Amino acid sequence: MARAVSLVAIAAALAGAAWVATRTGTTPAAVAPASAPQIVARNVAGGPSRSTRRRAGRHRLEAGIVWHRSRATGLPYAGRLVGGVRLPREGVHFFTWDPVLHRSPDRPWRRYGTDRLVRTLLAAIGAYAAAHPHAPRVGIGDLSRPHGGDFGPEFGGIGHASHQNGLDADVYYPRLDRRERAPRRVSQIDHRLRRTWSTGSCAPARRSFSSARAPAFTGRPASSRCSSITTTTCTYACRPPSR
């Protein structure tokens, strides 16, 4: 009888040890969930946000512009572009829009201008963004083809009567809904920002050309695309002033 009691005591001791071992083995699993938020927090705090990465990428695109001297020959409606500079597909304060495919970005071969035009665009848009830091990015449409020349209907849509020598760029008015798309109707335009862009944003670019012989930066409705009633874009021209 005593031996039986001893065996029961031994069995109980072994069972108790097994229970303790099992509980001890499961303890790390029990505290694992407590450490998971710390891992997530490190992932969130340890790297830049998506918007920060996106902005840095846009800065790199602008910094990567290949600058060289350009020459516009002939006339805007009968000319060529020599040594054109390609505008990036987007920048910190602008996006590009393809008026034929109705999407962003505009195709690369439609984004060439003289170095002066590209610099002027960036200066004007930068001034506009500084004056309106909460405004949406500016939409830019077609400039010229890589070597200029005809930009008619055979290149899509209704084409352009001008845009042949790297001195023209279509700039879209900002939308009320802040979407990065070209407005299709005048009712979609933020007219407060439109007036600011049309009248004020060209001034810094004009001042950057101190020489009397330097091109003027002017804006006018793009009659080749928009009617006088439903103007949704302006064609900005970097052209010598008329005498």
- Length of the chain (residues): 243
Contact call for residues 230 and 185 (beta carbons, < 8 A): yes
Is residue 1 domain-resident? no
Q: What is the pLDDT along the chain (243 residues), one digit of tens a residue?
A: 444 444 444 444 444 444 444 444 444 444 444 444 444 444 455 678 999 999 999 999 999 999 999 999 999 999 999 999 999 999 999 999 999 999 999 999 999 999 999 999 999 999 999 999 999 999 999 999 999 999 999 999 989 999 999 999 999 989 999 999 999 988 999 988 887 765 554 444 433 332 223 233 334 433 333 322 235 677 766 665 444
Q: What radius of gyration, in Å, describes the C-alpha atoms of the chain?
A: 32
Residue 47 has a pLDDT of 79
Residue 195 has a pLDDT of 79
Is residue 39 domain-resident? no
Is residue 37 domain-resident? no
pTM of the model: 0.70
Distance CA 84, CA 147 (A): 7
Is residue 43 domain-resident? no
Is residue 230 domain-resident? yes
Is residue 99 domain-resident? yes
The CA dihedral of 30, 34, 39, 41, to the nearest 10 degrees, is: 160
Residue 14 has a pLDDT of 43
Is residue 216 domain-resident? yes
Structural domains in the chain (count): 1
Is residue 84 domain-resident? yes
Residue 46 has a pLDDT of 64
Q: Which two tokens stand for residue 124?
A: 């004007």
Candidates 189, 198, 174; CA nearest to 95 is 174
- Domain range for 101: 55-239
What secondary structure letter does DSSP report for 43? H
Distance CA 218, CA 221 (A): 10
